[in-house]
Amino acid sequence: MVNRTMIALQTLWIKECTRFLRIWIQTLVPPAITMSLYFVIFGNLIGSRIGQMGGFSYMEFIVPGLIMMAVITNSYSNVSSSFYSAKFQHNIEELLVAPIPNWVIIAGFVGGGVARAILIGIIVTCVSMLFVDISLHSIPIIIITLLLTSTLFATAGLINAIFAKSFDDISVVPTFVLTPLTYLGGVFYSLSLLPEFWQWVSKINPIVYMVNGFRYGFLGVSDVDYLYSLGLLVVFNVVLLGFAYSLINRGIGIRS
């Protein structure tokens, strides 16, 4: 039974990875180009005028945030589009009637999103090395934050796809929620530059903790306690994974 479950999980994960690797020009190349533009515009052109931030050059300061922004966007979009496509094409019924536990379905789709996010993170990091020398303060913190963040947003993408009734529905959250929160999440600036009231408001934004936890792994500096950031990520993951499991078990949005 355990062996059959692991084979099912491996098969679903490989299918999800093959899905985005087959069209790598559409899934892996655009983030590299987009981040290159960010590095050129914000790093070289604007950064040279800003100077230092947090004791580092502006380019060094924004690199972790740009990597995290790419990870968040791609882990979310990969799972939301893949799961909704399975619903739209009625492939999801094959998984529901298969003799496998529902957690395998969640792990397979989320695992595919995490794999894409990790590849994007590596690609963007390599691109950033063309513009700035990257320092690594704590590799374990970088890896843990990357895995927790990509898992969180891959799960969020799954939940979005469960409730979505059309392809337009899976673009609403990235456009009107993720993008504003990401740009206001401390990617391009330090919270210390903000007035005290807006610092407090910014700390309501969960992406602030992800970006700063990741930045601590690279630079050793953070606007918030990195342990607090990791703790929040663990809590968010438990809540969203539990919610996704409950939705799949009850057949919300996937059973007529």
50-60 tens-digit pLDDT: 777 777 888 88
Q: What pLDDT was estimated at residue 255?
A: 65
**Residue 56 is assigned to a structural domain of this protein:** yes
- Report the number of distinct structural domains present in the chain: 1
Q: Looking at residue 2, what is its pLDDT? A: 65
C-alpha to C-alpha distance for 142 and 125, rounded to whole angstroms = 12
pTM of the shown model: 0.92
Determine which helix (DSSP H) or strand (DSSP E) holds 57, and give its type and residue range: strand 56-57
Structural domain for 162, as ranges: 2-250
Contact 241, 103 (CB under 8 A): no
* Assigned domain for 256 exists: no
User: Quick one: pLDDT at residue 232?
Assistant: 94
Residue 37 is assigned to a structural domain of this protein: yes
| pLDDT score at 1 | 57
What is the Cα gyration radius of the chain? 19
Higher pLDDT, 112 or 50: 112
Q: Is residue 255 part of a domain?
A: no
Nearest to 19 by CA among 129, 137, 111, 149: 111
197 is a domain residue: yes
The mean pLDDT of 101-114, rounded to a whole number, is 94
Give the C-alpha separation, 241 to 153, whole Å.
Answer: 10
Residue 58 in any domain: the answer is yes
Nearest to 115, CA basis, from 11, 16, 33, 30: 16
pLDDT score at 165: 86
Residue 111 counted as domain residue: yes
Q: Is residue 228 part of a domain?
A: yes
Q: Is 80 exceeded by the pLDDT of residue 226? A: yes
